[in-house]
Amino acid sequence: MQILHIPCLEDNYSYLIIDEATKEAAVVDPVEPHKILRVAEENGVHLKLVLTTHHHWDHAGGNDKMKQLLPDIEIFGGSVDNVQGCTNKVENGDRFSLGADISILSLHTPCHTKGHISYYVTAKEGDVPAVFTGDTLFVAGCGKFFEGTAEQMYQSLCTTLGSLPKPTQVYCGHEYTVKNLQFASTVEPENERISQKLLWAQQKRRTGLPTIPSTIEEEFETNPFMRVDLTEVQEKVGCKSPVEAMREIRLRKDNWKG
């Protein structure tokens, strides 16, 4: 399995997931269709699937054009998310395949939107699994609670995504890592892993490189929203439960001027 980053718009990422045996590919959130097709052509791959994480225009806005350009392409999206151009509505736990070796599992991760789907992708033995988290889980952050609650985000981050194997690579929808880590360091100023990763991320961005992927393990070490089960994090924000801490940290992030 090969995964290619495609920077789009101001700070979005689309991704090409390539089955190397067949050269068949899926694209995640192809908001700039012509750019996606150019990258697919340069890499000699045949686009078969669109994996849409959620209905917001900067993720689903290219779907109709993709369908126009490639009439046979299948467009996946959450069954309750009203995704533009969707031909295949998916629920939590639905599985489908790409090429010879790739298996894709749909995970319902609501809160940012009601029907947000993350896609957990596995290939042949020895390949590290990947999860495409759209705007639910960012590197060191999470999406705004536009259509859901702190309870839902806790379930989506800490239970659903948090139960994936620790080495799973996390590919999210935006390049927000530096800002997220700067905020994370206001929650846990003495967390060395956050300080180290912030320096690393700043260096990456200075040279124009992406800070993605992260891993589930790294998120548990550096992402305040995935650390809410820890008593010390709850105490830092004056809370007594993980969900309360999730709500409080999101509120602080929304009002943070960093």
Q: Which residues are catalytic?
A: 54, 56, 58-59, 112, 135, 174
Question: Quick one: which of 76, 131, 126, 123 has its CA closest to 102?
Answer: 123
Question: Quick one: which of 53, 256, 241, 235 has its CA closest to 158?
Answer: 241
227 Cβ contact list (under 8 Å, min separation 6)? 188, 220, 233
For 144, the token pair is 């705004």
CA distance 236 to 242: 12
CA distance 232 to 245: 11
Torsion angles phi and psi, residue 149, rounded to 5: -125, 170
CA distance 183 to 140: 9
Count of helices and strands (H, E) across the chain: 9, 14
Residue with structure tokens 């089960």? Answer: 229
103 Cβ contact list (under 8 Å, min separation 6)? 95, 96, 97, 121, 122, 123
